[in-house]
C-alpha cells in the first residue's frame, strides 16, 4: 500500500475552497459554491489518484558490480508498466551508490522506459541492490504516493580510492630489513641474475636479454633476485570511524582504506606480495596474500567498529609476519592508539627487521564516533614512532591523499 505525503497544494486548495464558500455564503452566489466544490474535488482526486499512478510499476536496476570511490557510475533504471492503464509523472528515487532520481513523465500501458543516471561513488563499501522508491503526485500535485519497489540489480562493490604512490620508502629497492632479514628468491630488480622471462609492459629496455629475444622472436628480459621485503602486510584499524556532516564524503576509515589500497596496489604493481588484515567482528584473521581485486574488495568491505583495537591487532598480526616484510599501519588517532599502546609491538617488529610505515589519519576535523588523541598526544605518537624507525604519513581529511602519501614521512604539522 503506497504511503501518502501531502503537498502544499493539499492545504492551499481546501483553504481556497473555504474562502470561496465563505464569500459565496455571504453574497449567496451559487457559482462560488460550484467553484469551491471544484477545488475540493481537485483536492480529493489529487489525494486518491496518486496511489493508482504507482500501482504495479516495476523497476529493474542495472548497476555495475564494481567501481572506485570518486568514479561516476552509470546506473540504469528500467521502469515498466505492465498494467492496462498509463501512469503519469512517475519518479523513481534510488539510493544505490548515491541518491539519484529519475522522472518519467508518462508510462503507457505495457511500456518500458530506461532512465540512465550518473552517480558519484563518494564512499567505499558494499551497496546491496535494495529497493527503490516509486513516487507520483500526478495528476494535480496535491499529494505524493510513494511505494517501495524491489529493484534487484545485485550488489555494487565500491573500492577505496586509489591514488598514485611514488617513491614510497617502504617500497623502495635496496632497503633491507634488520640483521636477521633473510633474502628470498623472489622476482624483482636485485643484483643477482635469476633467469629470463617474457617482456612485460613497464620493463626497462635495458633489461632486454637480446640473445633470448633473438631466439624467441619476441622480447625477453632478464630477472634479478629480489632484495627488498618480499611481502607487504597492511593492517587497517577498524576501531571506530568519523564521518562528515553531509554523510556523503569519505570517513576516517575510508581514508585509512584508501591509503592502504594505494600503497598495496603500488606494491602489487611492483611485484610484491600483499597481505591484508583488519579487526572484523572482534577478531583478527592472519594476514593472507591477496591479488588486486581481492585486496580492494577486502578494503571495501571493512566496517567500523571492528571490535579490536589496533594494539591488539598489531600483536596478532605481528606474530604472523615471517621473513622479510614491510608492515603498513593505517589507522586514525583514536585514543587507544596512543604511543604507549602501540610502541611496544612496533618496537618488537622493527627489532625483527620489519620495515614499518604508518598512515595516521587525524579525525579531529570530522565527527568522530570515539575519543581521539589530542594534538599533543598525536604529535607525541608520531614523534615516538619516527624515533622507532617508522615512516609516518599524517593524513588530514581536508588535504589531498596523494600529496599526504607523497610527503616526507615523520613530519607532523602543528
Q: Which residues bind another protein (CB under 8 A)?
A: 9, 16-17, 20-38, 40-42, 44-46, 48-49, 77, 80, 82-86, 88-89, 91-92, 100-106, 108-119, 137-142
Between 114 and 365, whose beta carbon lies closer to another protein?
114
For the bound state, the minimum distance from the C-beta of residue 66 to another protein, rounded and expressed in Å, comes to 18
**120 three-class SS:** strand
For the bound state, the minimum distance from the C-beta of residue 251 to another protein, rounded and expressed in Å, comes to 23
For the bound state, the minimum distance from the C-beta of residue 143 to another protein, rounded and expressed in Å, comes to 11
Cβ-Cβ contacts under 8 Å for 25 (sequence gap 6 or more)? none
Between 93 and 197, whose beta carbon lies closer to another protein?
93
For the bound state, the minimum distance from the C-beta of residue 162 to another protein, rounded and expressed in Å, comes to 26
Q: Count Cβ neighbours within 10 Å for each residue of 250-274 and write b for 16 or more, e otherwise.
A: bbbbbbbbbbbbbbbbbbbebebbb
For the bound state, the minimum distance from the C-beta of residue 311 to another protein, rounded and expressed in Å, comes to 43
The angle at the Cα of 320, spanning 316 to 124, to the nearest 5 degrees, equals: 70
The angle at the Cα of 148, spanning 143 to 149, to the nearest 5 degrees, equals: 125
Between 60 and 288, whose beta carbon lies closer to another protein?
60
139 prior amide bond cis, ω within 30: yes
**66 three-class SS:** strand
For the bound state, the minimum distance from the C-beta of residue 93 to another protein, rounded and expressed in Å, comes to 8
Residue 121 Cα distances to 70, 95, 98, 185, 244, angstroms: 5, 11, 6, 41, 15
Residue linked to cell 594534538: 375
DSSP for 77-95, written as a single string: EEEE--SSS-EEEEEEEE-
For the bound state, the minimum distance from the C-beta of residue 362 to another protein, rounded and expressed in Å, comes to 31
Between 97 and 255, whose beta carbon lies closer to another protein?
97
**366 three-class SS:** coil
**246 three-class SS:** coil
Cβ-Cβ contacts under 8 Å for 34 (sequence gap 6 or more)? none
Between 84 and 200, whose beta carbon lies closer to another protein?
84
For the bound state, the minimum distance from the C-beta of residue 171 to another protein, rounded and expressed in Å, comes to 40
Q: Are 367 and 244 in contact (CB under 8 A)?
A: yes
For the bound state, the minimum distance from the C-beta of residue 335 to another protein, rounded and expressed in Å, comes to 36
Of 106, 264, 109, 83, residue with least CA distance to 171:
264
Residue 368 cell numbers, joined: 568522530
Give CA–CA dist 314/182, Å, rounded: 22
Amino acid at each position: 500500500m503506497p504511503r501518502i505525503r501531502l503537498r502544499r497544494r493539499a492545504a492551499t486548495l481546501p483553504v481556497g475552497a473555504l474562502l470561496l464558500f465563505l464569500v459565496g455564503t455571504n453574497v449567496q452566489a451559487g457559482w462560488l459554491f460550484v467553484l469551491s466544490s471544484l477545488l475540493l474535488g481537485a483536492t480529493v482526486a489529487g489525494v486518491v489518484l496518486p496511489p493508482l499512478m504507482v500501482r504495479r510499476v516495476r523497476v529493474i536496476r542495472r548497476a555495475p558490480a564494481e567501481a572506485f570511490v570518486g568514479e561516476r557510475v552509470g546506473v540504469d533504471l528500467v521502469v515498466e508498466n505492465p498494467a492496462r492503464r498509463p501512469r503519469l509523472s512517475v519518479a523513481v528515487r534510488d539510493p544505490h551508490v548515491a541518491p539519484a532520481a529519475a522522472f518519467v513523465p508518462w508510462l503507457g500501458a505495457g511500456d518500458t522506459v530506461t532512465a540512465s543516471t550518473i552517480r558519484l561513488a563518494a564512499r567505499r563499501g558494499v551497496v546491496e541492490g535494495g529497493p527503490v522508491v516509486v513516487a507520483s503526485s500526478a495528476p494535480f500535485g496535491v499529494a505524493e504516493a510513494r511505494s517501495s519497489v524491489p529493484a534487484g540489480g545485485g550488489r555494487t562493490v565500491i573500492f577505496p580510492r586509489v591514488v598514485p604512490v611514488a617513491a614510497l620508502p617502504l617500497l623502495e629497492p635496496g632497503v633491507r630489513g634488520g640483521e636477521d632479514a633473510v633474502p628470498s628468491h623472489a622476482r624483482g630488480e636485485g643484483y643477482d641474475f635469476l633467469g629470463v622471462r617474457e617482456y612485460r609492459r613497464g620493463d626497462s629496455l635495458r633489461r632486454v636479454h637480446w640473445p633470448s629475444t633473438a631466439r624467441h622472436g619476441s622480447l625477453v628480459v632478464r630477472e634479478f633476485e629480489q632484495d627488498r621485503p618480499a611481502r607487504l602486510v597492511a593492517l587497517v584499524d577498524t576501531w571506530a570511524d568519523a564521518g562528515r556532516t553531509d554523510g556523503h564524503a569519505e570517513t576516517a576509515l575510508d581514508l585509512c582504506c584508501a591509503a592502504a589500497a594505494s600503497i598495496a596496489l603500488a606494491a602489487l604493481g611492483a611485484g610484491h606480495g600483499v597481505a591484508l588484515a583488519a579487526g572484523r567482528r572482534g577478531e583478527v584473521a592472519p594476514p593472507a596474500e591477496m591479488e588486486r581485486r581481492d585486496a580492494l574488495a577486502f578494503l571495501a568491505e571493512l566496517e567500523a567498529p571492528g571490535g579490536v583495537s589496533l594494539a591488539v591487532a598489531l600483536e596478532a598480526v605481528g606474530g604472523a609476519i615471517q621473513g622479510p616484510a614491510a608492515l603498513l599501519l593505517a589507522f586514525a588517532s583514536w585514543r587507544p592508539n596512543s604511543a604507549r599502546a602501540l610502541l611496544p609491538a612496533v618496537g618488537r617488529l622493527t627489532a625483527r627487521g620489519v620495515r614499518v610505515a604508518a598512515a595516521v589519519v587525524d579525525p579531529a576535523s570530522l565527527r568522530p564516533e570515539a575519543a581521539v588523541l589530542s594534538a599533543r598526544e598525536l604529535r607525541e605518537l608520531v614523534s615516538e614512532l619516527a624515533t622507532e624507525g617508522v615512516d609516518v604519513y599524517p593524513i588530514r581529511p581536508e588535504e589531498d591523499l596523494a600529496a599526504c602519501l607523497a610527503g616526507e614521512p615523520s613530519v607532523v604539522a602543528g
